Amino acid sequence: MAPETRASVEAATAELSFTVNTTARSLRTGRSSLAALIVPDIANPFYAQLAATLQEELRKRGLHVVVCNTRARRDEEQALLAEAVQQRFAGVVITPFRLKPRDFEPLTDAGMPVVVSADVSFGPIDLVTPDTRAATRSALQQVAAAQRRRIAMIAGPRDAAGGDPRLEQLRSLALRLGMALPHELVVRGEHTREAGATGFAELMSRRHRPDAVFCGNDVIAVGAMEKAHELGFDIPRDVALIGHDDASFASLVRLRLTTIRHPAAEVARAAARLLDERLDGRKVHRTVQVKAEFVARSSV
């Protein structure tokens, strides 16, 4: 419209305190002004930071973020994807935990932009993924420099989507550095403090105890740290402990946690850019790698 027409309309809306009827607008445009962020555990500070930054970035485009918590359950993930299609959301950013590539077909068939934040691909869908190889190697080198050779891992559950790339990468790099990650020193569980505590106790009850324990994320590591204190193990004298993500509490806990930083804010910004490109008409899917960083603190 002409500049003078726009000025007249804006003056009228201000005078009448007019607000946009977003429901009516979505019926006209065929798209909501809402985008969904679907994560497995909103209580994890990593996802809280992801949500805050994504909201800030998408607000610049006039989109509002609805945060959905799945508790890492497949039925919840499926239900929320179906709801996104029914509500005609503008797009979805998701960290899937137990979904399969075929589960995204209803969204792609509907033309809904989807961005996955994960270690593995879920087919022809935009992906934000961490580049952790160099950081993991640095963590192993620090462990080796501390004269540790028998490492263990408290990993994620067996039925997680795409397996456990963090475990596979750790085992591969450890072998190259002359370190052992035997199968009997891998325990599995959900990405929770309780699983960290249970897993640590199980590892330290083995006949041949590990002298370094890697954890699937920092929440697991905190649970392991609490159990170590309860059982009378000194970290790092008796056993080194390494987390993953560098959640906000990692530098605040009693024993500052050595970890691999997966920058949540950068993940969110990359996801927002990919979603924005899709809304602008890009058809070909893209993958963006976000570089991880080893953060040395006092638990090794």
CATH number at residue 196: 3.40.50.2300
Burial of 7 (0-12, 13-18, 19+ CB in 10 A): exposed
Whether 10 is covered by a domain: the verdict is no
In terms of domains, do 225 and 178 share one?
Answer: yes
Q: Answer yes or no: are the C-beta atoms of 99 and 76 closer than 8 Å.
A: no
From the centroid of its chain, how far is CA 189? 17
Q: What is the pLDDT along the chain (300 residues), one digit of tens a residue?
A: 788 888 888 888 778 777 655 544 444 445 689 999 999 999 999 999 999 999 999 999 999 999 999 999 999 999 999 999 999 999 999 999 999 999 999 999 999 999 999 999 999 999 999 999 999 999 999 999 999 989 999 999 999 988 889 999 999 999 999 898 999 999 999 999 999 999 999 999 999 999 999 999 999 999 999 999 999 999 999 999 999 999 888 877 677 899 999 999 999 999 999 999 999 999 999 999 999 999 999 999
Task: Say if residue 69 is in the same domain as residue 117.
Answer: yes
| Residue 266 to residue 269: CA distance in whole angstroms | 5
Q: Is 14 contained in some domain?
A: no
Q: Are 115 and 160 part of one and the same domain?
A: no
Give yes or no: residues 201 and 271 share one domain: no
Q: In this structure, what DSSP letter does residue 18 have? A: -
- Domain span at residue 112? 26-129+264-289
Instruction: Identify whether 296 is part of a domain.
Output: no
Instruction: Using alpha carbons, list the distances in angstroms from residue 30 to 23, 46, 89.
Output: 10, 33, 9
Judge whether 254 lies within some domain. Answer: yes
**Do 83 and 230 share a domain, yes or no?**
no
Total count of domains within the chain? 2
Does residue 277 share a domain with residue 257? no
Predicted structure pTM score? 0.86
